[in-house]
Amino acid sequence: MQAYFVKKLLMLPLILLGVSFIVFVSIRALPGDPARLMAGPEATQQAVDDMRVRLGLEQPLPIQYAGFLMDAVRGDFGTSIRSQKPVSEELASRFGATMSLAAVAYFFATLIGVPAGMAAAVWKGRAPDQIVMIVAILGASVANFWLALIMMDYFAVQKGWLPLLGMGGPAHYVLPSITLGLLPMALVARMTRSSMIETLEQDYIRTARAKGLGAFRVYRRHALRNAMIPIVTIIGLNFGGVVGSTVVTETIFNWPGIGRLLVDAVRFRDYPIIQGVTLLAVVSVVVVNFLADLLISVLDPRVRFG
Amino acid sequence: MTNRPIFSKSIRTALMASSVALLALGAQAETLTVMQSEAPRSMDPADQTATFTQVVLAPMYEGLVGRNSDLAIVPLLATEWAPDDTGLVWTFQLRDGVTFHDGTPLDAAAVVASFERLLDPARGLAAAGRVAAVLESVEAVDDMTVSFTLIQPYAGFIDLLATAVGYIVSPTADAAGTLGTNAVGTGPFSFVEWQSGEHVTQTANPDYWGEMPTLEGLEFTWTSEPSVLSMAAQTGEADVVNPLPPIFAQTVEADPNLTLIDQPGSAMFWVSLNVLDEPLDHVAARQALNFATDRDALVSALRRGYAVAANSPLAPTNPAWDASLDPYPYDLDRARALLAEAGVPDGFSMSVAVQEPEAPIAEALQGMWSDIGVDLEVRRLESGVWVEAAFNDPEAKAEDGLSAVIASWSSGSFNSDLQFRPLYSTGAWAPGGANLGFFTSEALDAIIDEAAAELDEDARNALYVEAQRIVNQEAPHVLLYSNRDLAATSANVEGITMLPGGLILVANATKSN
């Protein structure tokens, strides 16, 4: 058991090395020259070449990559091409914003998704089930940027109930976290439903009912705890998707997180920032999945990873 | 059921908290919030060439000269100036008692340093080319006098000094290498903070040499989503949005809480035709495309009427623009006749590279040109990819099979040279310039050089009229329209100046409650 988690931790540097290589190569394989983008459309070829030297992009790729790795192990992820600030500083000021939004989105996704899924399972085939499933399908299929704009127009522009943009008090979290949390909420609700339905058909549930336990106690103590394992798994697995969705959500809501930073960075081919954001996102996804594994082993002591 | 009231109470608490926050904002209402469509590129005015970056920098920096709301040149850091008889040496007398925000005094040495860094290729500053093409050297005559020696007489020199590349920066900050992230100028507002994903904040400069601004501070934000610009104006989360997408102009005009700024602009939209590509190497084929383009339809469909159909490569705001020109009325019969003359009576196939925001132009042209048998393949490209495709050299373009590029150009000045030279001169072939279709005309090159050195404005403008005629006749571009510049402000905001090209000046704005 411990060996499994130790092994997983030891894998992290290898994963990061692999991801850094893929990111390093693929963003440079994209057409689009940062020196040209920085120098501007009127720049002469000489000016573009000068800019390339200034940005250190004239060196051969293997040397650039080796330099990046050597600096990265020392915690130096380079300097943003555009803002000229250290990448680590740019990331530090934004990581909290993204994680707090993701946390709020996840919290409500679970808080609503789990009971909704339970209700759908308990009243399987009846109205609550159908309502939950329709909402879940809509939630999983609606384009989140479209939903975000509709909600902004109604709740912020027309009604004036909620702030439109930026990060601030609790009210600022409402619309972005709905936008970000809708898909995980739908997934959690569906997973809870199917997992609960399966569990409720188990013999021990019938036994629990037969020995006279109340329905609610059976659902909560016996069924949900066992049904939680696939639910936690899907939450962990989906975390990468949520981090990906922050790109859209943060861009629309002017949320000062790493997703918005990434969009700006891609537009200007700000290689150091793209690398930094990607690596940070990978670390957070790996860590969250690690925690999900840990949680599963707590939920079900029989689970052994090997 | 007992859960319900608690739930709605907590919502109400959240709403109250947010309205308290709004009230708190109301108390410091003298900060003006400006939202634009793109992030600033640098805090160093010489390291960018973007209009919306200049909007952010303009309150913090000043040039030797500037432009007022009537678009006239006015003295700023220089009190007087004059060229010598040859037009090669310009001498400027500097204003006394001006200091930069970091306390460095403004003197001749500071001005010299501010320009010499542009002439140093090792610095690789993004806007350096504009100055290096014109300026030979700059030197201090005495403590408060500076003289500029030009490579050859250049009529647009004063105009150039009034643009962002002419902003004087603190030599102390430049030597420290922090100017890219931390602006230090002499303007009425001083730099506070640049959070690169978020905002730039500025505060009124108590030591400003001129008239003090009435605003306490400025905040600049940005979004890439056009509808968010409009919503931010409607909710009041931005006092000013720039540019306002034309689709929202009527909403803004109808809203009593908002004011629409609508002025003739300078950004000219066009399709650059690759004149090395068959059959576009034939002038008749290029003219045919021009006749087959319904410009009025483009203006009303794509810009809701907030544009002017192009009749020349210059926008109507340019002093050399000739209103009498009308080279290409929409005429499909003449277009077909010209195609026959070019040897392709049944039309031909071509491709065009376009960025996402201009894609509707390409789609409209696809429809219009199909009427004369031209099959237009539209390549919608992400901006970085587009820049690479558009600025490829002739060989790479041929390999790519790219026949045309849709783009816009605003030199952000009144200097026709900055419209003709980079777009149409032989020396400006891509990738070293924005002559994206490799057009060449000896006659035009000669006129561009002659006009640039002509210091008499009337004589110069007459030369530029001739240049307009040549470009119209040779049709290296299908010229489409020039934008009207649109912006929206809250109704309680006044005193904003819009210069052609979307450059809003907010330093002298006032905001009432």
Interface test with B, best of A48, A83, A173, A255 (most B CBs within 10 A): A83
Buried b (16+ CB within 10 A) or exposed e, B343-366: ebeebbebbbbbbeebeebbebbe
Per-residue pLDDT at B20? 42
Mean of the pLDDT values across residues A268-292? 86
Per-residue pLDDT at A32? 74
> Which tokens go with A293?
């594994």
Average pLDDT of the residues of chain A: 84
* Look-up of token digits 């037009």: B87
Q: Which of B122, B130, B181 sits opposite A42 (nearest CB)?
A: B130
Contact call for B122 and A90, based on CB within 8 A: no
- Using CA of residue B151, residue B152, residue B158, residue B163, what is the dihedral sign? negative
Distances (CA, A) of A161 to A31, A143, A176, B7, B14: 44, 23, 14, 16, 10
**What number of C-beta contacts closer than 8 Å exist between A and B?**
159
Contact call for A85 and B198, based on CB within 8 A: no
Delimit the domains of chain A by residue range. Answer: 2-73, 93-305
- Which residues of chain A neighbour B15 with C-beta distances below 8 Å? 161-162, 171
Per-residue pLDDT at B4? 37
- Which residues of chain B neighbour A160 with C-beta distances below 8 Å? 235
pLDDT digits (tens, 9 = 90+) for B146-176: 999 999 888 889 989 999 999 999 999 999 9
Q: In terms of DSSP bridges, do strands B477-490 and B307-309 run parallel, antiparallel, or are they unpaired?
A: antiparallel
Q: Which of A82-86, B55-59, B99-103 has the lowest mean pLDDT?
A: A82-86
Question: How far does Cα B426 stand from its chain's mean position?
Answer: 23
Per-residue pLDDT at A41? 65
Domains in chain B, ordered, with CATH? 265-484 (3.10.105.10)
Q: Which of A210-224, B7-21, B208-222, B425-439 has the lowest mean pLDDT?
A: B7-21
Q: In terms of DSSP bridges, do strands B349-355 and B375-381 run parallel, antiparallel, or are they unpaired?
A: parallel
Instruction: Tell me the shortest Cα–Cα distance from A121 to chain B, in angstroms.
Output: 21
Instruction: Tell me the shortest Cα–Cα distance from A287 to chain B, in angstroms.
Output: 25
Is the CB of B281 inside 8 Å of chain A's CB atoms? no
pLDDT confidence tier of residue B15, bands split at 50, 70 and 90? very low
Backbone angles phi, psi at B329, to 5 degrees: -65, 150
Q: Which of A40, A85, A266 sits opposite B49 (nearest CB)?
A: A40
Query: Hey, how many other C-beta atoms are within 10 angstroms of the C-beta on A301?
Result: 8
Mean of the pLDDT values across residues B26-36? 76
pLDDT confidence tier of residue B308, bands split at 50, 70 and 90? very high
- Which residues of chain B neighbour A51 with C-beta distances below 8 Å? 124, 126
pLDDT digits (tens, 9 = 90+) for A118-136: 889 888 888 889 998 998 8
Contact call for A31 and B389, based on CB within 8 A: yes
Per-residue pLDDT at A304? 63
Highest mean pLDDT among A9-23, A25-39, A125-139: A125-139
Q: With a threshold of 0.90, does the pTM exceed it?
A: no
- Which residues of chain A neighbour B127 with C-beta distances below 8 Å? 40
User: B506, B502, B510, B505: which is closest to B244 by C-alpha?
Assistant: B502
Mean of the pLDDT values across residues A173-178? 93
Q: Which of A234-243, B454-463, B475-484 has the lowest mean pLDDT?
A: A234-243
Contact call for A31 and B388, based on CB within 8 A: yes
CB B361 within 8 A of CB B269: yes
Buried b (16+ CB within 10 A) or exposed e, B490-510: beebebbbbbbbbbbbbbbbe
Q: Which of B21, B237, B385 sits opposite A31 (nearest CB)?
A: B385
- Which residues of chain B neighbour A151 with C-beta distances below 8 Å? none
Mean of the pLDDT values across residues A284-293? 84
| DSSP codes joined into one string, B141-194 | EETTEEEEEESS--TTHHHHHTSGGG----HHHHHHT-TTTS---SSSEEEEEE
Interface test with B, best of A42, A175, A271 (most B CBs within 10 A): A42
Would the pLDDT of B25 be above 50? no
Complex ipTM more than 0.85, yes or no: no
Per-residue pLDDT at A268? 79
We find that the CATH architecture of domain A93-305 is: Orthogonal Bundle (1.10)
Would the pLDDT of B50 be above 50? yes
Is the CB of B119 inside 8 Å of chain A's CB atoms? no
Mean of the pLDDT values across residues B213-242? 93
CB A199 within 8 A of CB A227: yes
pLDDT confidence tier of residue B18, bands split at 50, 70 and 90? very low
Q: Which of A51, A85, A153 sits opposite B196 (nearest CB)?
A: A85
- Which residues of chain A neighbour B128 with C-beta distances below 8 Å? 47
Query: Hey, how many other C-beta atoms are within 10 angstroms of the C-beta on A27?
Result: 18
pLDDT digits (tens, 9 = 90+) for A215-251: 777 777 777 777 788 888 888 888 888 888 888 999 9
Per-residue pLDDT at B23? 42
